[in-house]
């Protein structure tokens, strides 16, 4: 089985890694011409880390990121409004909360996918169902066939930034 994943953000790449862990060929088609860091960082709570551990990339993420054991929300005078001890969730669920740069998370996910299954500069124009296959057409006039497709829609800001 071959699956075409439209969108190479965190959602698309994690989907590709998950499918590969089940022996499914997953090709990622990203509209950007090259990988470029977007955003500063991301907080991966213990439930997300549980999944990433099962996908085999949790250790690399923990090593590249910073474990967060406590989270505080403060008002304008820096008085605590809410304090959460995240270590209790780690104890309960067996996974820690990690803060990591988005670019580094992206690199780790990309490393888990064979390079020949990553396709840049592929802006999806049209998807045609052809019986038991789908044909994905791109702006560069190329196309790809697959058994299924998954379109990972990203925020409008990300899409606009990728077009620059």
Model pTM score? 0.84
For the chain, strand residue ranges (E) read: 2-6, 25-29, 41-44, 66-68, 70-74, 80-85, 97-101, 118-119, 124-130, 133-138, 143-146, 148-151
Instruction: Give me the mean pLDDT over the 8-25 stretch.
Output: 94
Is the model's pLDDT at 31 over the cut of 70?
A: yes
pLDDT for res 159: 38
Instruction: Give me the mean pLDDT over the 139-143 stretch.
Output: 96
pLDDT in tens, 49-71: 999 999 999 999 999 999 999 99
pLDDT for res 153: 65
Average pLDDT, the chain: 90
Question: What percentage of the chain exceeds 70 in pLDDT?
Answer: 92
Three-state SS string over 96-107 comes to CEEEEEHHHHHH
**Domain boundaries, given as residue ranges, for the chain:** 2-163
Is the model's pLDDT at 2 over the cut of 90?
A: yes
CATH superfamily of 2-163: FAD/NAD(P)-binding domain (3.50.50.60)
Instruction: Give me the mean pLDDT over the 116-126 stretch.
Output: 96
């Amino acid at each position: 089985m071959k699956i075409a994943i439209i969108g190479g953000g965190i959602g698309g790449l994690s989907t590709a890694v998950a499918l590969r862990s089940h022996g499914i060929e997953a090709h990622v088609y990203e509209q950007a011409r090259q990988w470029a860091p977007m955003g500063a960082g991301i907080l991966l709570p213990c439930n997300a880390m549980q999944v990433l551990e099962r996908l085999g990339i949790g250790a690399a993420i923990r090593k590249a990121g910073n474990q967060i054991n406590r989270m505080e929300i403060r008002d304008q005078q820096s008085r605590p409004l809410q304090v959460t001890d995240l270590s209790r969730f780690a104890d309960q669920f067996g996974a820690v909360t990690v803060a990591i740069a988005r670019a580094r998370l992206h690199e780790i996910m990309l490393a888990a996918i064979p390079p020949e299954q990553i396709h840049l500069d592929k802006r999806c124009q049209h998807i045609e169902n052809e019986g038991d296959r789908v044909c994905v057409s791109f702006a560069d006039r190329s196309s790809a066939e697959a058994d299924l497709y998954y379109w990972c829609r990203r925020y409008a800001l990300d899409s606009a930034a990728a077009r620059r």
